[in-house]
Chains A and B, each alone.
Chain A
Amino acid sequence: MEKKTLVIGVIGADVHAVGNQILYHAFTDAGFNVINLGVMVSQEEFINAAIETNADAIVVSSLYGQGELDCRGLREKCNEAGLENILLYVGGNIVIGKQPFDEVEKRFKAMGFDRSFPPGTPPEVDIEALKEDLHIEE
């Protein structure tokens, strides 16, 4: 089966690099074609990479608490760029401090993210979700 392509990176002015590396290896080992944009990635960079590589999903990380601000408008820009059907995920420490996650999830859903994940979510959970959403059979 053809490999699915993911664009991953840490959004905004966020420099937390360790989790991004772990995700890169985990996704690659799970059989994805991974375009890793690293840290400090702008919305435009995610979108440009997804266009050229015909990506199936954009997996955004945000660790430093500004995720909500940084992610705002990403879905609209994707639509604008002709990526209406692209899957959008976000995870890490996407908001400041501890907030009830179902609230957070609702807000990110409204922003157009197909799924958002609470702090400490292991990569396996993410991979399962991707397989389900991208209809990948083992």
Chain B
Amino acid sequence: MKPVLLIDFGSTYTKVTAADIDSPRLLGTANSYTTVQTDINDGLADALIRLEKKTGKLDFCARYACSSAAGGLRMLASGLVPELTAEAAKTASLGAGAKVLKTYSFKLTEDDEEEIRRLDPDIFLLVGGTDGGNTDCITHNARVLARIGGTYPIILAGNRNAARECERILEGREVHICENVMPRFGTLNIEPTQKQIREVFLNRIVQAKGLTQASELISGIMMPTPSAVMTAMELLAKGTKNIPGIGDLVAVDVGGATTDIYSVAEGLPDDPRTSLKGLPEPYIKRTVEGDIGMRYSIHGIVDAAGLDRIAEAAGISEQRMGEIVDMFGENTDMLPYDEETQSADEALASFAVRVAVTRHAGRLEEVFGIGGLKLVQTGKNLLNVDKFIVTGGSLIHTKNTGRIASYGFYDEEDPTSLKPKSCEVLVDRSYIIAAMGLLSQYYPDAALTILKEELIKDGTSK
């Protein structure tokens, strides 16, 4: 046996997972409270004791960690046009596992200046203009950032013709120049920026957040947790040299404050005559709905889906549903305690999934012009995706995960939304996806084997 320890320093819990890479299997998982305020090792030591109670003493040959502690990787981004470079900046940041606090477009205003000073991010991503295109906006914004001051690093990934000028404007600051996120109009080039974000995270952020104390014990904090999840999902879809993957997939993680959706698929139109509008889509895409979550953002679910529909799905009166929503919103640690609150919780989760997957998926619209019908697709076509992965505390502990997940499928009442038509639902019952993303950096075959073993089928719907 060759056990490896995988650690996820979460905002609330420190989760530990032990895996054997010799004959790949999960040995056990445990968790404890994250103790970033005092010494992060306290929580880790506690979780380890709990783990070894279940597994017996383990002699780990390696220890890897990811982190979303201390607020995660908090980023701000600014671009020029909202649908173009500003969107590209947001997509790049989310894909690098960041928590994007806000994305600005056009020139930063005095109010923005105040807000940025107050938010004091871990990284600022400054973009705008295609290569050879607009330089006014990005240089203006660089001047605003210079005026704001602060110590956070700035990643410059806009019009290359403005890069050096921006660097001069920001003299004295830590500045990293990357290739433009949109070098030519309508193209997306986000990998160089994402690589840079990950590097800054490793070299700087981990230290700044008091996570380095842990690094004596472990071989390193390698990435933000959402990045580990994305890595695992890509591995699961594509497979390794030796083991086949399961193909295109969608994954949902409904949390207390936000809902994350991942898709691994090209997402091109079924009919080649369809015209594509908007930015090209990344093969692995992550979106985060900041207003959709089971406790802190519970009212966002109601605003987006309607109290009447949620109450109907739960089989309880609208008034009672409203009371339960308020109760959960105020008591963010509260778990359902009887049948009624259980149904309410599940109905809320169902609509959280529907709203978030609908926002993530693309749309196919019929444009009636003179001379007939034309199909126009924006975003990703996920109709043919047939694997739906469910993770996150609020879904993996309920019994009806499969039914809740089916709310993320194609919906006849919203026929232009390109959500998956028919899917097998796989549930991350042991909550190991992020851990396997970490493990895959060194032992991809073992990580994939364990993922395939541990993701449990929960019915196929439709």
Contacts and interface: CB of A to CB of B under 8 A. Distances in A.
Interface of A is mostly: loop
Interface residues of B, number: 24
Nearest to A64: B370
B133 interface: yes
Interface residues of A, number: 22
Interface string B121-141: 000000011101111000000
B369 A52 contact: no
Contact of A15 (B81, B133, B371): B371
A13 interface: yes
Interface string A58-86: 00000011100000000000000000000
Nearest to A66: B370
A54 B138 CA distance: 12
Nearest to B158: A52
Given A39-B275, A49-B185, A13 B132 contact: no
Given A51-B81, A51-B134, A65 B185 contact: no
A65 B369 CA distance: 12
Name which of A5, A13, A35, A45 has the most chain B CB atoms within 10 A of its CB: A13
Contacts of A53: 129-130, 132-134, 185
Contacts of B367: 13, 40
Contacts of B85: 52
A52 B133 contact: yes
A48 interface: yes
B84 interface: yes
B374 A40 contact: yes
Contacts of A33: 132
A90 to B, nearest CB: 18
Contacts of B277: 45
A52 B376 contact: no
Interface string A4-34: 0100000011110000000000000000010
11 contacts: A3-B132, A13-B369, A13-B374, A15-B369, A52-B80, A52-B81, A52-B128, A52-B130, A53-B130, A53-B134, A54-B135
The 8 A-B pairs at the shortest CB distance, nearest first, are namely A13-B369, A53-B133, A54-B134, A54-B133, A48-B81, A35-B185, A53-B130, A52-B130
